[in-house]
A and B are shown apart, each in its own frame.
Chain A
Amino acid sequence: MQRKQALIENEIWKSLIGISSRMWKKGWIRGILYIFLVIALWQVAYVSKRFPPILFPSIGEIAHSFLRDLLNGSMLSRIGFSLKLILYGMIISATIAMVLTLLAMASKNFKSLVTSMISIFDPLPGIALLPLAILWIGIGEEAIIFIMIHSIIWPMLLNVIGGFSSVPAIYRDLGYAFGLKRNRFVFGILIPASIPSILTGFKTGWSRAWRALISAEMVFGATGSSWGIGWDIYLKRSYLDMAGMFASLLVIMIIGIVVENLIFKTIERVTVIKWGMAL
């Protein structure tokens, strides 16, 4: 009887270990476990009172600020403001990049001009242009968009021109053989064949623009009645709203993760991964 009991216990243990090792192998479950671990450590540090509570809020306070901002709509308006600026930057940059790339494909001289410009301006961090933008454009959304475009356009151009130039000769030959001319050739062959590089350009552009945006907002502050997530952090600092600050940092992290791991990954899944073209 006792022996049987031991056997059953043994089986239960084995199955528990099996389930947990299988769950461990799933990346997202591991990710959630790590997050809980960080939260737990944080709370332990808070409870231990080693740090002044005014500088080190509890998890409860952070969660409370987060929910407060989320429910009263202020968080959405901050996010909307920041994302709007970055979206403008993306759209304008993509348009300019496309036009410059086509011109570069048409003329060797123009291509060498553009590639030299990329190597000159690409290393320049967007935020370093801020004083210049203020003097030239003034304090406002336009200046931030100027910085966004600078952050996005060079990596995007680099990748799009690189992609267009390295379209395999066989795809060009096919385009000619099918009788594709001018813009049908561009949209039918060159662009789809370069999508892996175009995506890389967008990803690099986004991550640079996102970082530059947060920094630029902190310098500019509010423009008019609305402001973005970067300035939000700055404001909360001046009110010493530590929990609110951490809540906003959390928002920045979440947006970064969502855009990079959900949006870009999804775009890749329905394009380059589906086509077996992933770089």
Chain B
Amino acid sequence: MTDFLCVNNLTQHFISGDQKLEAYSKVSFSLKKGEFLSITGPSGCGKTTLLRTIGGFLPPTSGTISIAGKDIKEPGTHCGMVFQTFDQLLPWKTILGNVMYPLIINHKFTNRVETQHHARKYLDMVGLDKFKDYYPYQLSGGMKQRVAIARALAMEPSLILMDEPFASVDADTRVMLQRELKSIWYKSGITVLFVTHSIIEAISLSTRFLVMGKSKPSIRLFEENSIHSEPDKLITPENTGYSEWWSRLSHLIREGNDSSAHE
């Protein structure tokens, strides 16, 4: 199988005034179709920026990205995106309207009834079908985030980029959403890039880890999750190898926070 996502020597600088800020540098990795990659690292190491570049929202300072053999130069429907911010729903549309909008624009279905049916299926999956006629300002931050997830998944893209999507939901809902995501991922064969600050979340969901640090080059670790488990279920501390991964990842992240360590 050839690689589905290829990130090649990617570097991102920001110029503000006469200052040059390196968000991340020399990032190269590739994924096969259907992998679940979690991206972790200390705050400010460039995770959001990397995701935005891969999504095509930000032209890289240098390097290339290709998805399914095609170079990515601009954003589009080649991948779904769940942003880090709460306010990523269009305030002038209802919850259902928000989920339906990209489906309508991209003519995913031939009629409105089918579109609505499909959108409601995904709203129901994140437990928010009851709120379909609400407007975004009437929902809590975590609920809005779930709608954004439903909207991205409803498009059934082959790649989805998620930036700390579960950061603002309570513990029970979080586990519910993790289970749901993992089962959707398993059923659909979608490729996922998942940024998270939670090591537990990274281990329980992903098939591969990417750890970034503050000093350059940015990648500290890019390895397959070696824990064996049922592929559609969350990995728990009962699975062998869990604690080894946990201590390895937390050590790397702590180390990555020290920006002088690698220079």
Contacts and interface: CB of A to CB of B under 8 A. Distances in A.
A178 to B, nearest CB: 4
Contacts of A70: none
B136 interface: yes
Interface in A168-190: 168, 170-171, 173-174, 176-180, 184, 188-189
Interface string B100-138: 011001100000000000000000000000000001111
A276 B135 contact: yes
A184 B87 contact: no
A179 B106 contact: yes
A133 B85 CA distance: 52
A177 B101 CA distance: 12
A256 interface: no
A179 B80 CA distance: 11
Interface stretch (B4-12, B22-30, B69-77, B237-245): B69-77
Interface in A205-239: none
Interface string B132-173: 000111100000000000000000000000000000000000
A170 B144 CA distance: 14
A168 B92 contact: no
Contacts of A43: none
28 contacts: A170-B83, A170-B85, A170-B87, A170-B88, A173-B75, A173-B81, A173-B83, A176-B74, A176-B75, A176-B76, A177-B55, A177-B77, A177-B80, A178-B77, A178-B102, A178-B105, A179-B77, A179-B105, A184-B105, A188-B101, A188-B105, A189-B90, A192-B90, A274-B135, A276-B135, A276-B138, A277-B91, A277-B137
A275 B106 contact: no
B246 interface: no
A177 B87 contact: no
Given A170-B83, A275-B137, A176 B57 contact: yes
Listed residue (B75, B77, B81, B137) with the most chain A CB atoms within 10 angstroms of its CB:
B75
Secondary structure type dominating chain B contacts: loop
B90 A174 contact: yes
Contacts of B55: 177
Contact of A173 (B57, B91, B101, B102): B57
B262 to A, nearest CB: 32
A177 to B, nearest CB: 5
B77 A275 contact: no
Contact of A171 (B77, B90, B137): B90
Nearest to B103: A178
Contact of B135 (A170, A177, A178, A275): A275
A195 interface: yes
Contacts of A180: 105
Contacts of A184: 105
A275 B93 CA distance: 8
Most chain A CB within 10 A, of B74, B80, B81, B138, is at B81
Contacts of A200: none
Interface string B56-84: 11000000000000000011110011010
Contacts of B74: 176
A168 B57 CA distance: 15
